[in-house]
Amino acid sequence: MKKIKNYFKGGPRNFFFLMLILLLGIAVLTKLTDFTRQRKSIAYSTFLKAVEQDQIKSVHIIGQEILGVFKDGTFFETVVVDNPKNIELLKSHNVDFSVAPVSTQFNFWHILLLLAFIGAPIAIWLILRQTRGSSGGGHGNIFSMTKSKAKMFLPSQIKVNFNSVAGVQEAKEELTDVVDFLKNPEKYRRLGAKLTRGILLVGEPGNGKTLLAKAVAGEANCPFFSISGSDFIEVFVGVGAARVRDLFAQARKHAPCIIFIDEIDAVGRQRGSGLGGGHDEREQTLNQLLTEMDGFESANTAVVVMAATNRPDVLDKALLRPGRFDRTVHVPYPDLAARESILKVHARDVKIAADVDFHKIARATPGFTGADLMNLINEAAIIASKTDALFVTMKDIEEARDKIMLGKAIKSRVLSEDEKRKVAFHEAGHSLAILLQPETSEPLHKVTIVPRGGALGITHWLPEKERFLTNKEQMLATITTSVGGRAAEEITFNVLSTGAHDDFKKATELAREMVCKYGMSEKLGHVVYKTDPDAKYSEHTLRLIEEEIKNIVDVCYKKALELLKTNKDKLDLLANTLIEKETLYAGEIYQLLGISPREEHRLI
């Protein structure tokens, strides 16, 4: 139906042509229905007898053929002799009759029927031709179902190179020899070298796997075929394998080139896990892919296959053996330096204020992928555009980051004075716990009691530097900070609220990791236990695990109570100022409480 709609978009001429064919078909079908009504053939003698008994209503005479209707409504036909007395007989019994010469048998309806039979195939051919042209590449109709759905990008269309890909320096270095091979294949063939032809890019979504593959094609200045693993699979058996054959046939014609298969786990999962006893469509497609990846090496053509996935563990082992995808390139989350480079790349086409510090933004976005950072800059530009600003400022970028991480500020949610006071002391407890553990906690950034998403208040802290190892003291400090909000509520109001639910959930999860994952328990020792809820342990072991988790959280909670009780004056001053201003930055808090800021602490 979608294809026919595309045909109607071709203009009034196409619409008129199809309407004419449709009306012609309806007219012919109507006439055919009339022709094919129940019509009984009777003998001439029966006809004469029926006339004499006044059973005939009307007849139509065409030469010696009579088409008539009985008075009961049934139709009949018969052949009579050429006798003038027949007319007299019909008149005498009051039968309505009409006469037509034999030469007029080929009438308008016969012409219309002939035109319909000739026009219908022509109309079908034109529709198929139109839909094929509108779908691009000849893949829009049933006759091209086995054609590959890969999109081909010529070198002139690829504007991406390694300079366009910030970060992932190690991945780019691994792919440099692939670029060299595509540029100078004879350089390797003259010594009999066979370079890796299958490269698997592994990384979480948004880290730049597709962009990296395009950059290789841009650097090598060669054609680039892009397709998703799911594009091979169809409900019809054999179609996926045919598409794989067609893709590699096209690639060999345009060698040297790159075939990029995104989400290859859709077609490359381990065999034997599908339906149909191991002979389903997906497995046939995978078998053909394995064959082609072996075959193009012997064809002596420079075709490199690159694929991307975030689930390398589910791929069939035959895909990963030497001669196929035998080189794995990891595309990790960007580190601090990489995030800063990525932000600068995405900010090239955005009007950024001169005081924007990309290093500070990178510090504020740990765990962001390249796609997240691009979205951050775009969201900041949207926020700045709403206020008709000339440039995107640091304030816009921070608002965009908070919106992405926590949700939009809910200014319409009005808290009662009692609730606002409790939230202020809760967040002040988090903030003060950070400030009072300077050696083990990350630096405070800001605290706010403006509701966002599902949170009534938020305390932000920023990492001073990229951290690859975390020690036990730092993890305990994080738990102490998490429970600091509840401790402040208990000290001030002596009432426990539900606002600390998420804090204790995070504290418990971190304590469980310390006990079960990192071997930081005195009773259980340096042993790793499963942390998933369905893990099966003996009753004794399970009791020890739960006791250790509870002990860690309890110790941290007691520490938070001691810190805040000792500094109750600072807690009251911070909370009351927060009620008045709603949002405070670290610099303001240091000055308010008379605490020396951390040496490496930088504000956004």
Residue 137 has pLDDT above 50, yes or no: no
Residues 426 and 395 in one domain: no
Q: Are residues 396 and 517 in the same domain?
A: no
* 312: in domain: yes
Q: Which of 27-41, 399-413, 500-514 has the highest mean pLDDT?
A: 500-514
For position 507, what pLDDT does the model report?
A: 93
Question: Which pLDDT belongs to residue 360?
Answer: 84
CA angle 572, 575, 580 (to 5 degrees): 125
Structure tokens at 351: 């009007």
Helices 539-566 + 501-516 axis angle, to 10: 130
Q: Please give the Cα distance from 255 to 570 (Å, whole number).
A: 71
pLDDT number for residue 235: 54
Half-sphere exposure of residue 65: CA atoms within 13 angstroms, side-chain side: 9
pLDDT at 296: 47
What is the arithmetic mean of pLDDT over 506-513? Answer: 92
Q: So what's the pLDDT on residue 604? A: 38
Q: Residues 373-382: contacts with CB within 8 Å, 24+ apart?
A: 373/334, 373/339, 373/342, 373/343, 373/346, 374/342, 374/346, 375/404, 376/343, 376/400, 376/401, 376/404, 377/343, 377/346, 377/347, 377/350, 378/346, 378/350, 379/403, 379/404, 380/350, 381/350
pTM exceeds 0.85: no
Among 300, 330, 360, which residue terminates a domain? 330
pLDDT at 544 over 50: yes
Task: Please indicate whether residue 1 or residue 153 has the higher confidence score (pLDDT).
Answer: 153
Which distant-in-sequence residues (6+ apart) come within 8 Å of 427 by Cβ?
A: 447, 448, 449, 457, 458, 459, 485, 575, 578
pLDDT per residue over 382-411, tens digit each?
A: 999 998 889 999 889 988 888 887 777 776
Residue type, 466: E
In what helix (H) or strand (E) does residue 330 lie, and over which residues does it extend?
strand 327-330
Tell me if 121 is assigned to some domain.
yes
| Domain count along the chain | 4
- The helix-helix angle for 568-581 and 417-435 (nearest 10°) equals 130
Smallest Cα–Cα separation from 482: which of 438, 427, 531? 427
User: Region 49-70: what's the mean pLDDT?
Assistant: 83
Cα distance between residue 336 and residue 183, in whole Å? 33
What average pLDDT does this structure show over 518-522? Answer: 87
Same domain for 368 and 265: no
Q: What is the pLDDT of residue 451?
A: 83
User: If we measure between CA atoms, which residue out of 462, 470, 506 comes closest to residue 486?
Assistant: 506
What average pLDDT does the structure give for the chain?
Answer: 79
Of residues 160 and 274, more confidence is placed in: 160
Q: Average pLDDT in the 350-371 region?
A: 86
In this predicted structure, the answer to whether residue 564 has a pLDDT above a threshold of 90 is yes
By C-alpha distance, which of 155, 251, 153, 141 is closest to 197? 251
pLDDT surpassing 70 at residue 598: no
Residue 117, burial from CB neighbour count under 10 angstroms (0-12, 13-18, 19+): exposed
Q: How confident is the model at residue 52 (pLDDT cuts 50, 70, 90)?
A: confident
Residue type, 462: L
The tokens for 17 are 């042509």
Residue 49 placed within a domain: yes
Last residue of a domain, one of 309, 330, 351: 330
Residue 221: inside a domain: yes
134 touches 6 (CB < 8 A): yes
d(CA 182, CA 306): 13
Instruction: Report the distance separating Cα 44 and Cα 372, nearest Å.
Output: 90
DSSP conformation class of 269: B
Residues 305 and 273 in one domain: yes
Report d(CA 319, CA 549) in Å as an integer: 43
pLDDT of residue 418: 86
Looking at residue 124, its pLDDT comes to 64
Q: What whole-number percentage of the chain has pLDDT above 70? A: 79
**Strands across the sheet with 583-585, in order?**
458-461, 444-448, 583-585
Strand partners, 458: 448
Q: The CATH number of the domain where 98 resides is what?
A: 3.30.720.210
What's residue 135's pLDDT?
A: 42
Q: What is the pLDDT of residues 241-264, one digit of tens each?
A: 888 888 888 888 888 888 888 888
Structural domain containing residue 103: 1-144
Lowest mean pLDDT segment, chosen from 37-51, 134-148, 178-192, 280-294 = 134-148
Which amino acid makes up residue 152? Answer: M
Question: Are both 140 and 158 inside the same structural domain?
Answer: no
Shared domain check, 218 and 114: no
Measured distance CA(280)–CA(21) in Å, rounded: 42
> Reduced to 3 states, what is the DSSP secondary structure of residue 412?
coil
State pLDDT tens for residues 139-168: 444 445 556 667 888 888 888 888 888 878
Those residues with Cβ within 8 angstroms of residue 102's Cβ, 6 or more apart along the chain or in another chain: 62, 63
Question: Which run of H or of E encompasses 176?
Answer: helix 169-183
Query: Comparing 405 with 346, which gets the higher pLDDT?
Result: 346
Burial of residue 592, with CB atoms counted within 10 A of its CB: 0-12 exposed, 13-18 middle, 19 or more buried:
middle
Instruction: Average the pLDDT over 327-332 and give the result.
Output: 87
Q: Is the dihedral of CA 389, 394, 399, 403 positive or negative?
A: positive
Give the residue among 567, 584, 600 at the shortest CA–CA distance from 487.
Answer: 567
Q: Is residue 34 scored above 60 in pLDDT?
A: no
Q: What is the reported pLDDT for 22?
A: 65
- In this structure, what token pair is assigned to residue 31? 């006439």
Residues 167-196, mean pLDDT to the nearest whole number: 80
Give helix 12-35 / helix 108-135 axis angle, nearest 10°.
Answer: 140
Report, as residue numbers or ranges, the catalytic residues: 427
Residue 598 lies in a domain: no
Query: Residue 229 domain-assigned?
Result: yes
Res. 217 pLDDT band, cuts 50 70 90: confident
> Does residue 139 contact residue 314 with C-beta atoms inside 8 Å?
no
pLDDT of residue 514: 92
Residues 127 and 82 in one domain: yes
Question: Residue 411: inside a domain, yes or no?
Answer: no
* Of 465, 457, 370, 452, residue with least CA distance to 411: 452
Q: Within this chain, do residues 573 and 438 fall inside the same structural domain, yes or no?
A: yes
Q: Is the same domain home to 324 and 181? A: yes
Contact by Cβ (8 Å): 430, 421: no
**Same domain, residue pair 374 and 232:** no
Co-location of 288 and 351 in the same domain: no
- 126 & 104 share domain: yes
Q: Does residue 50 carry a pLDDT above 70?
A: yes
Compute the average pLDDT of residues 51-56.
84
Q: Under 8 Å CB-to-CB from 604, ≥6 apart: which residues? A: 357, 360, 361, 363, 364, 394, 398, 445, 462
Which of 265, 295, 330 is the endpoint of a domain?
Answer: 330
Is 90 exceeded by the pLDDT of residue 66? no
Radius of gyration (C-alpha) of the chain in whole angstroms? 40
Percent of the chain surpassing pLDDT 90: 15
Handedness of CA 187, 192, 196, 198 (dihedral sign): positive
pLDDT band for 425, please (50, 70, 90 cuts).
very high
- Answer whether residue 480 shows pLDDT above 80: yes
CATH number of the domain bearing residue 348: 1.10.8.60
Query: Would you say residue 603 lies in a domain?
Result: no
What CATH number is given to the structural domain containing 584? 1.20.58.760
Reduced to 3 states (helix: H, G, I; strand: E, B; else coil), residue 175 is helix
